[in-house]
Structures are given as C-alpha cells and as structure tokens.
Amino acid sequence: MKIVDLGASSSVINCFMAQLRDVNTQTNRTLFRGNLRRIAHAMAYEVSRMLDYSVKNIQTPLAVKEVPTYDDRIVVGTVLRAGLAFHEGFLDVFDGADAAFLSAYREEGKADDIKIHIEYIAAPHLDGSTFLLVDPMLATGGSLELAYQAFLSKGKPAKLHICCVIASRQGIERLQHAFPGDDVTLWVAAIDPQLNDRAYIVPGLGDAGDLSFGEKQ
Ligand code: PRP
Ligand code: URA
C-alpha cells in the first residue's frame, strides 16, 4: 500500500486540521463538518490526478474544445456515521460518482478487544469501479478493513483509494498487512503516533461522530 500524507507539507489542509483538533473550535458542529468536507475537497483533487483521462470534444457556444476528462467509474463508499461529511465533500468534487454506505460501530472497550459490528450495507455494483473508501478516522483499522471486506460482496473494484483525515500508526500497519501490494493508496491529512487504552487516536481530535452529530447513547 502506498501512503500519501497531505499534511506533511505546508498547505491550507493543516489550517483545517488545526480547527478540527482545537478544543476551542471543534465544538462548532457546522464548522467541524465543514472542515471535514474542505479536507475532502483538497484530497479529492489529489486523487483526481491518479485517474485515467481521455480527451473529449466539448462544444462551447463558440467552438469545439478538446478537454481531457476522467473515464473512471467512481464509487465513493463510507462508514456511517462519522464518515458522512467527509463523504459529501468527495461527492462535491466527483459529481457523477455513485455512493455506497455501510454501518459499522465500535463496541467500546479495551483497545486490544474492540468489536466492530456491521449491520447495514447499500452499494451499487463495484466490479471494475474506482472505489474511494472514505472515513475520517483510521484508529485500529478494524472498521475500514471489515468495511472493505463487506463491500466486496458487491463486486471487485478495479482500483482502491482509501481516504482518511487522521490515521494512527497502528491503523496504517494493519492496512499495510491487509493490502501488501502498491496498487492501493492510502491518502491522509495527518499521521498520529498512538492510540489510548480505549483505541482513540492521540493526539487525534476526539470522537469524530460525536463532534459531527452529537453524543450517541
Ligand atoms: C469512527 C470512524 C471509524 C472508526 C475508526 O467511527 O468513523 O469508522 O471510528 O476506528 P477503528 O479504526 O478503530 O475501527 P465510530 O465507531 O466512532 O462510530 P460513529 O461514526 O457512529 O461515531
Ligand atoms: N473514532 C473516532 O472518532 N476517534 C478516534 O480517535 C478513534 C475512533
């Protein structure tokens, strides 16, 4: 698996990250979801550079112009519920993409014994698609790995891009094990060093689902 860390060089992405992490700004839910969406826009632009393009003849009001546009059949898949705002940002950019959803929740517990439950899946057929699996938090990596296995029941994508906002080192290691080849790319806006004993990313940002939508019971 190839890893691209968009936060490693200075860009406005790090300004969005600062607002997501900061306890003084992250409590504004609209801003929090907006920053996830803005990071998705920037990341989608980078992913778009990896697609396959062919030249199309575009009729303007005055003449025909040759314009290269991508030919990939993009499907953007996410994990409910923290992934929703991030997902929306990718759909803003890839306006013709299909969307795929899956529910997964982590049964809270000790980091080495987190159980993940998948109960709902709605996806188009994935055979031959360019599949963008997007979820803001890659902590243990369990949700993403199980989500991808579940999405495979809908067909085998031709290309896979995994897009996250913050990835822990442990989560990256798990995905590297699951995707040993370099045909899969993991895009992140930050890599954080550790998980705490409840499998939250440290320093991280806290609970992305609760910050987006409120604390769940
Ligand atoms: C978050 C996030 C990931 C998962 C990552 O969802 O959206 O799906 O945690 O953790 P993992 O890498 O250890 O599996 P969460 O379980 O908090 O659910 P929520 O979206 O309902 O808040
Ligand atoms: N899910 C989150 O929302 N945050 C973490 O740090 C880990 C999982």
Mean pLDDT, 10 residues at a time, the chain of 217 residues: 98 98 98 98 98 98 98 98 97 98 81 81 98 98 96 98 98 97 96 97 98 95
* 3-state SS, residue 145: helix
pLDDT of 110 = 66
pLDDT of 106 = 73
H or E element at residue 88: helix 84-93
pTM tops 0.85: yes
Q: How many angstroms separate the CA atoms of 167 and 161, rounded?
A: 14
Ligand nearest to the CA of 111: 1
Tell whether ligand 1 has an atom less than 6 A from the beta carbon of residue 206: no
Q: How many angstroms separate the CA atoms of 99 and 128, rounded?
A: 15
Counting atoms of ligand 1 from 1, which one is nearest the CA of 139?
A: 12
Q: How many CA atoms lie within 13 A of 29 on its CB side?
A: 10
pLDDT of 108 = 67
Which residue has a Cα nearest atom 10 of ligand 1? 139
Distance from Cα 105 to the centre of ligand 1, integer Å: 6
Mutate to test the pocket of ligand 1, among 137, 145, 165 (most ligand atoms within 8 A of CB): 137
